[in-house]
Structure 1
């Protein structure tokens, strides 16, 4: 239970962080935030890139499959005005949680399945209501806590309950108090619906933004460094092998280059393989059979090491088979990671800084080569069928660039110390000529 609260709190924090994203090419855009939570499980929503403003079409594309699953009771908390600054300024995520104006809203997001559209393009005050009417094919019913407590809700049909909430004046104190009152109304409505035992989907948004802020348009793309834990839209999905309906092995590579007797390189990553294999707590094997006749096998194992007090997995062998002839390679040089991690390496090959060492003694197989580019694999501890766990990279910490920087810094330090030593050895003169004494007379001879 405590772990669920932590995850919910982290999810809420990520929502609020998305509300305060900084932007760079200035333009004026009207937008409102929109929060959705439900007693049932909601489908996940991909994290928007920095500065992304969601359109009505994106919201419709998300809600359509949600509402298509059967009759729903939707609670629409429609505030007169709302902007993302209101949530971050008066909320308790960045400030004092005890003084938050959105205690009931934050509690509902933490305890339910929830998603957020941090910036939804605003067109008109009735746009959200019209969209929900079209999706649910139901007219909105104005409601408040007292009305709902005496209202009979038919769960066999779609219901749209509209709860209008006012907005505040320019006074900071009165604004926070009014938003706190709105939050109390929200809490009472949810309490009444839960008491009736009615499953619901709640939406909290604004009829219009409380302020139109200057924002920047940035390219709609992810920025920064990322591994395959977050698979991007233009990246091909990883190979996933399922055992008894659960994912147990994942593999991804930009290129799976193999070369046999002909010396010609073939990229197997461009082909779709058939998957076979096996999984157990101590061993796992993934076999990729390609239409071109090539077969790649990856065998992994995990063991407990008392020194580190944890389980580690290793890629023991990689086997390439073509036309009944196979070559085996041992992953004996650093292809390992903690059992709950994945292993990643920019290049895994058997000929340059080789991580794969040939097992076969047959000389005719000596020309066979493997070169896997941007390679990542995980054979144990898969908790999610779409994402790798944290990646343990094969790159060593002391790279040539780091060694060069360390040696250069050491040389500069030695020069500085030598100069300082020379300065410390300088001594002032302890004897001087007396200007008041007799002058030296030098007789001159004619």
Structure 2
């Protein structure tokens, strides 16, 4: 990989890092926010959910706009909007009059910004490289940045909250400004040939065509990505609450404990991104086995509430999630033509945000039932993800995407027929 491209990648890696910090940094602070604003655990979960719901709705549109007008032209304004949202939330928490509703408005704006920033990074990495090995390696770095943000965020958020409880809100615009500077000066977008601008009607039609050709495995990957985020953010929300209420662990120490499974996630994400290369068969089995590992570790937690066993099992769960994410990213980025890559990866990102949005409020309800119900649910949905990976993801057996010649020729003909509409 060229040294110049490495700087581009590092600048792009700042975007998922910023977006992750802007969301996950609040996880350990949610119990404090709940007490300060005198709201319920379900209400406080809305601080994560509102951010995610608006992103779900807007991410596909951001993908369409990035395909039509260019990735960088969408990323930079989006980072600016996310920063403004952080300022509004921070100001509302500081003033404290009707703080909760105004914080949600700020988080709404952050969601708008996030929808046009982080999801556009994946197709841009695909645009930057021709070699599939470099694409996989680049995606591994981006996913690692995302997961490193998840490791740092609970520690940083918990530390900042010990100074002033609403300080994490104020740091979000600072991170956004840094990322804007990096992207402006370091990221060089590859020149693309002039294309006829696609109307929104054509955009919808082309999505239908793509799903007609690739729908089975794409749907499986969307489902798996959503389940992973659902379990991850649900468990983090659960962990943040019980560490204080049951184990009397507070402040930075709580942030460090929450970071344990996220550290495993980060390390495995980096290693998997390096090892899977362009082998789609490896990607499939890595995803399947990762979901089995996630479901198995969640199921074992139902037998005990010992904090050390809990953290050990969640460390293993983090390994499962970390190994799966780069495989899912690579399957989509390398399996879809460049002309439609922004659209499809944005829908994938949207499905991941569905999991982020549903996780905290559903786990808040499950927590009222029992510890066992939380992890039975986690194990059950992980099993669904494993089955989806096993039965629906069917990569060609030959290295580089070969396989049955008749099926391959048929698929290639379908893609060739689709290209004029996309171009």
Tell me which protein shows more strand as a share of its residues.
1
**TM above 0.5, one fold?**
no
Question: TM-score, with normalisation over the residues of structure 1?
Answer: 0.26
Tell me which protein shows more helix as a share of its residues.
2
Higher RCO (CA 8 Å, separation ≥ 6 residues): 2
Question: TM-score, with normalisation over the residues of structure 2?
Answer: 0.28
Report the structure number with the largest CA radius of gyration: 1
